[in-house]
Amino acid sequence: MNRPTNEGRMPDFGEKNARLREDTLANIRKLRNTLTKELISIALFLLLSIVALDNFSVFPSLSEPIRAALGRPPAANMISAVLLLYVFSAIILILARMMSGSGRYGGVAHVGYLAGFYIFYHLSGKLPENFWAVFASGATVLGLESYHVWLYCSEEIEKERETLAFLNNKPGGRE
């Protein structure tokens, strides 16, 4: 009968535990980075809103040839309709992610979409009237998403910490 050569000896869990601990620590770092990225997105959006509140006066205005090359801006009502559609879709998507417990998030992409709305309103000359609509949209979408990401990451970090605590109490752990 063939028997394994190391039969009767304690298997070496130390190396596996060390690798698992490294993975767990890497996961915790990744989750913390996700939270930081979400906060950076909010900060970017606030910065963008401050610039937009002043009707992008910090930037030089577009010259006539560039405006002519860009063509006629879309009507303000059309931009508003798209904004409404965007907010509705984004809220539904985030709520669906919350319901399924998924860790996916839009982050900087949402800031990009909102910047697009600010720019289109600015080009159509209706930014002062519609600034608060875009700002409220951003606050809603990013606020909801931040809450979701924060909850998700907190739970995942807690799980990873439990794993870490378990590993530290095992043979080969830090003790």
Torsion, Cα 68 70 71 77, to 10 degrees, reads: -130
Kindly write down the DSSP assignment for every residue of the chain, as one continuous string: ----TTTTSPP--HHHHHHHHHHHHHHHHHHHHHHHHHHHHHHHHHHHHHHHHTTTTTSPPPPHHHHHHH-PPPPHHHHHHHHHHHHHHHHHHHHHHHHHT-----THHHHHHHHHHHHHHHHTT-HHHHHHHHHHHHHHHHHHHHHHHHHHHHHHHHHHHHHHHHHHTSTTS--
Nearest to another protein of 26, 96 (CB atom): 96
- Tell me if 147 contacts another protein by CB under 8 A: yes
Report, in Å, the least distance between residue 132 CB and another protein: 5
- Tell me if 46 contacts another protein by CB under 8 A: no
Q: How far apart are CA 31 and CA 154, in angstroms?
A: 8
- Tell me if 144 contacts another protein by CB under 8 A: yes
Among 151, 161, 165, 166, binds another protein (CB under 8 A): 151
Q: How far apart are CA 135 and CA 114, in angstroms?
A: 8
Nearest to another protein of 40, 136 (CB atom): 136
- Tell me if 154 contacts another protein by CB under 8 A: yes
- Tell me if 98 contacts another protein by CB under 8 A: yes
Q: Which segment (38-46, 52-60, 143-151, 161-169) binds another protein by CB under 8 A?
A: 143-151
Among 14, 125, 143, 171, binds another protein (CB under 8 A): 143
Nearest to another protein of 20, 48 (CB atom): 48
Among 12, 22, 54, 129, binds another protein (CB under 8 A): 129
Residues that bind another protein (CB under 8 A): 76-77, 80, 83-84, 87-88, 91, 94-95, 98, 126, 129-130, 132-133, 136-137, 139-141, 143-144, 147-148, 151, 154
